[in-house]
Amino acid sequence: MTTVTFEKATRLYDGTTRPAVNALDLEIHDGEFLVLVGPSGCGKSTSLRMLAGLEPVNDGHIRIGDRDVTDVDPSDRDIAMVFQTYALYPHMTVGANMGFALKIAGVTKEEIAARVADAAKILDLTDYLDRKPKALSGGQRQRVAMGRAIVRSPQVFCMDEPLSNLDAKLRVATRTQIASLQRRLGVTTLYVTHDQVEAMTMGDRVAVLKDGLLQQVASPREMYDRPGNAFVAGFIGSPAMNLFELQVTGEGATHLGNFVLQLPREAVAAGTGGVTLGVRPEDLRLVAEHEGIPATVELVEELGSDAFVHASVRGSDGAQLLVARVDPKSPPKKGQDVSLAPTTDHLHWFNTSSGMRISA
C-alpha cells in the first residue's frame, strides 16, 4: 500500500520571508491520481520537488507509505519523475533511453529488454524502439519519457506539467492516454499543472494551491459544485465563475444592477455587510426586459456547440462584467442590450472579507 502524506511540509527559500509552500497537509491515497493545480508561483512544482527530494523540507515531514522520506536521498525514494521537458538523451535510441535508469541500477540486459518491451507495448512504442528522439513527434517523445518512468516500476509517479510543450489537440489526446495508463497501472500519482481543464478531466481528486497555501481538496465534481472559497470558485471552471462583490441591505437582500436577490439564511446569519455572489455562466439565462440584470453585450464567443456572451452590467460604468452561456443557434449581437437572470437554486455565496463559502 503506497500512500503519500505531506505533514505540515514547508519550504522557505533563502532570502525570502514568505514560504513557497506553507505547512502543506495533504494525503494521496494508494493508487490515486491527484492533481495539484494553481496559478504560476503558487508552490505546486515546489511541492512536487519536495516529494521527489529535489527540494529540502524546512519544516514538517513527507511520508511514502509508513516511511518518513523527509531526509532520504532522492535515489532511495522509489519515485519516477516525468518532467515538462522530455530530457531524452539525443544520441540514444528510444529503447536505450527507456532502459537507461535500469542499466545504471545494475539490472541485467535481459531484464531491461523485457521491461522496455512491456512498457513499449503499453505505450504503443514498439515500432520506435530503434529510433532516435529527433525522429519522433512531441507526443511520441512524451510517451518515451512516460515509458522511462514505467520501466522502473516505482511506488510513486511525479509528473511536472508534462503536457505543456504539446499543441492543444495533442495535449487533449495525451492527457487521456496518461489518465488511462495511470488507472491501468494503479501507481500512486501526483500530477502538477496550471491548466484547470487538465485538472478537472484527469484527476481522481484535485488540490488547489494559492501563495503556498492549500485552498481545497475534493473530487472535480465536488469542487465545481461547491467551491470552498471565492478563489477556488473563480479558478475552477472554464469560462470562470462570475463573481460580484455586493452590499447587503437591512432586509437581507442585495442588488446586482437593478436585480434584487434575497440572501440565503446562512449569509444573513453571518452578519457581514458585504457578500460575494458567484454565478456559473451556464446558470445565467436571457429573460425579458426588466425581469433580470440589464447588460450590454461586449463580445460573443461562438464555439459551435456553445456560445458565450460577455456583457457589462448597465449602471456599473462598464466595470462589472459577466459571462453567460446562451443558445448557440440564436445568440445576441455585439452591442445589443439584454437582460440576464441567474438560476436562483445554483448560486454561490462567499464572505467578501474572508473569501470563504457561506451558503449551504
pLDDT in tens, 243-256: 988 887 767 778 77
Average pLDDT over residues 17-35: 96
- Asked if pLDDT for residue 205 goes beyond 90, the answer is yes
d(CA 325, CA 14): 47
- Asked if pLDDT for residue 310 goes beyond 80, the answer is yes
Q: How much is the pLDDT for 269?
A: 66
d(CA 254, CA 262): 6
Helix or strand holding residue 143 (H, E): helix 138-150
* Angle of the 168-185 helix axis to the 138-150 helix axis, nearest 10: 20
Q: How far is CA 1 from its chain centroid? A: 25
User: Would you say 252 and 275 are in contact if contact means Cβ atoms under 8 Å apart?
Assistant: no
Q: Is-above-0.85 flag for pTM?
A: yes
> 270: pLDDT confidence band, cut at 50, 70 and 90?
low
Instruction: Assign domain 4-233 to its CATH superfamily.
Output: P-loop containing nucleotide triphosphate hydrolases (3.40.50.300)
Phi, psi of 64 (to 5 degrees): -115, 110
- Asked if pLDDT for residue 185 goes beyond 70, the answer is yes
> 358: pLDDT confidence band, cut at 50, 70 and 90?
confident
- Asked if pLDDT for residue 73 goes beyond 80, the answer is yes
Domain ranges in the chain?
A: 4-233, 235-351
24-28, 49-53, 166-170: which has the minimum mean pLDDT? Answer: 166-170
> 257: pLDDT confidence band, cut at 50, 70 and 90?
low
Q: Give CATH for domain 235-351.
A: 2.40.50.140
DSSP secondary structure code for residue 356 in this structure: B
- Asked if pLDDT for residue 97 goes beyond 80, the answer is yes
From residue 109, give the alpha-carbon distance in Å to each of 98, 135, 151.
Answer: 13, 25, 13
Phi, psi of 13 (to 5 degrees): -80, 150
Q: Does residue 270 or residue 220 have the better pLDDT? A: 220
Q: How much is the pLDDT for 360?
A: 55
